[in-house]
Amino acid sequence: MSGAPRDAVLALNAGSSSLKFGVYERQGPALWTGLFEGLEPGGTPSWHLAGETARALLPAPGQDGFAAALDALLALLAARGRRLAAVAHRVVHGGERCVAPCVLDAELLAYLHTLEPLAPLHQPHNLAGVAAIHRAQPALPQLACFDTAFHASMPEVERRLPLPRDFESRGLRRYGFHGLSYESVAGTLATVSPRAGGRLLMAHLGNGASLCGAIGGRSVASSMGLSALDGLMMGTRSGALDPGVLLYLWRDGWTLEQVERLLYKQSGLLGVSGLSADMRTLRASAEPAAAEAIALFTHRLLREAGAIVAVLGGLELLAFTGGIGEHDAQLREDVAAGLGFTGLVLDPAANRAAPPDRPVPVHAAGSAVEVWVVPTDEGRVAADAAFRHLDAA
C-alpha cells in the first residue's frame, strides 16, 4: 500500500490466557478480527485472523505472551499500511465512577482493581491486558470502555439494592453489564427501525447472558445487578439465586472459594445438563438432562423478559444478539411464543433463515412487536470512543 500509514485503533478484550482483538478505522466494520490463545506462562502461544488458519506465536527470550501478541499486531498493521494510534479495552466493571470511556492512568487502574471481586472472571484479566500493553508501549494511549457505563442512565429505583442505606457508600448497588453490546445493538437498530427509540428489549445471549430494557435508546432496566452473576441462567453461571442457598452452603461447611467456583463456573447450562455449557452441544444431545437445561434456560429468560416488559410498560421491539441470540432460531421461536401476550408474532421462515452477519427483521406482518436479529460489534463501540479521544487530544 502506497502513501503514509492510516491511523487505526485496536479494540481488545483480554482474558486469562487469550486476547480477542479487532482493528478499526474511523468508519465501517473491523478491518481484521482475531484471537490470540495460549498466552499464560508455560502456554503454547498461537494466533489467527478470522477466517484464517492458526499460526504459532514465538515470544522473544524473556518476553511475555501479551507483549509478543502486541508485536505481532504491530507487524500486521505495518505490513497493511496502518499505524496504531490507540488501544481501546473492554473493561467489564466501571463501578460508580466510570460512566463513560476513560483514559487509563495509574490512579484509575488502582480504582478498577478494587472492583475485581465484583467481576472475578473478567476484571483481573482485562486489567492485566492494560498492564501488558503499557509495558510494551508506554506512550501508546489506552482507553477503558466499560460494560457498566451504558446502564448509568437507569433510574435510582432500578439501581438501588434493598439493603440498609449505608451499604451504598460501599458501592453496593445494581450496575448492569454487557453495555458495549447493548450500545452497539441500540445504535444499529436506530438506523433500521423507527421503533428503536420506543420500548425496546434487547437480549444478549451467549455464555454470559442478560437482558436490557431501553426507552429512547437509553437503558432503564437490566437483568444483571451488582455483579455479572445476576439475572439469567448462563453457560456456567447460575444467574439469580435465592440468597438462602448460599447461607445453606456456608452452614454446611462450604468455603467462600467453593461457593464462588460453584456460582461462576459449575452452574448454568453446564451444571444443569452435566454435559456442556455450549447450547449447540446441548441441542444436538439426546440426553434428557440436555433438554432440561435448555428448558430451564428458556424459562428463566421468559421470566426476566416479562419483568422488564412490565417495567417498560409494554413492548415495541425485541432484539436478539450474542452467540446464542444470533444463531439459535429455536430459542428465538420459543421466546417469541412465550411473549405472545404482547401481540408479538414471529415469521417462522424468516426466523429460520436469519443470517448472523447483518440486522434482519424476523417478525410476521401485522405483529404488534418488531423482532430483530442484530449482530453485535462491541469493538466498534470501543474504537469510536478511542477516535473521539484522539480528536479531542
Q: What is the CATH number of the domain that holds 45?
A: 3.30.420.40
The reply to whether 202 sits in an annotated binding site is no
203 and 131 co-located in one domain? no
The reply to whether 314 sits in an annotated binding site is no
Q: What is the pLDDT of residue 356?
A: 84
Q: What is the pLDDT of residue 127?
A: 94
pLDDT higher than threshold 70 for residue 1:
no
- In whole angstroms, what is the distance from residue 301 CA to residue 170 CA? 30
CA angle 356, 357, 360 (to 5 degrees): 70
- In whole angstroms, what is the distance from residue 36 CA to residue 17 CA? 8
Rounded alpha-carbon distances, angstroms, from residue 95 to 115, 228, 246, 330: 7, 12, 24, 36
Q: What is the pLDDT of residue 126?
A: 92
The reply to whether 129 sits in an annotated binding site is no
- In whole angstroms, what is the distance from residue 300 CA to residue 201 CA? 15
The SS3 call for residue 15 is coil
The reply to whether 256 sits in an annotated binding site is no
The SS3 call for residue 218 is strand
Phi, psi of 266 (to 5 degrees): -125, 5
The reply to whether 265 sits in an annotated binding site is no
Give a yes or no: residue 179 inside a domain: no
- In whole angstroms, what is the distance from residue 52 CA to residue 69 CA? 17
Question: Domain range spanning residue 304?
Answer: 194-378
The predicted model scores a pTM of: 0.94
Give a yes or no: residue 151 inside a domain: no
Model pLDDT for residues 325-341, shown as the tens digit of each residue: 999 999 999 999 999 99
pLDDT higher than threshold 60 for residue 247:
yes
246 and 133 co-located in one domain? no
Q: Which of 7, 64, 147, 242 is catalytic?
A: 147
Per-residue pLDDT, averaged over 247-261, amounts to 97
Residue 10: strand pairing partners: 23, 87
The reply to whether 208 sits in an annotated binding site is yes
- Joined together, the cell numbers standing for residue 384 give 469510536
Give a yes or no: residue 33 inside a domain: yes
256 and 349 co-located in one domain? yes
The reply to whether 207 sits in an annotated binding site is yes
DSSP 180: H
147 in active site: yes
104 and 207 co-located in one domain? no
257 and 111 co-located in one domain? no
Question: Do the beta carbons of residue 375 and residue 359 sit within 8 Å?
Answer: yes
Model pLDDT for residues 100-131, shown as the tens digit of each residue: 999 999 999 999 999 998 888 889 999 988 99
The reply to whether 268 sits in an annotated binding site is no
The reply to whether 280 sits in an annotated binding site is yes
The reply to whether 126 sits in an annotated binding site is no
How many domains does the chain fold into?
2
Give a yes or no: residue 155 inside a domain: no
Side-chain half-sphere exposure of 92, counting CA atoms within 13 A? 27
DSSP3 helix / strand / coil % (the chain, rounded to 5)? 45, 20, 40
Amino acid letter, 295:
A
Model pLDDT for residues 200-245, shown as the tens digit of each residue: 999 999 999 999 999 999 999 999 999 999 999 999 999 999 999 9
Give a yes or no: residue 172 inside a domain: no
231 and 91 co-located in one domain? no
DSSP 64-78: -HHHHHHHHHHHHHH
The reply to whether 90 sits in an annotated binding site is yes
Q: For residue 144, name the pLDDT band (cuts at 50, 70, 90).
A: very high
334 and 205 co-located in one domain? yes
DSSP 41: T
Q: What is the pLDDT of residue 354?
A: 97
211 and 115 co-located in one domain? no
Q: How many residues does the chain have?
A: 393
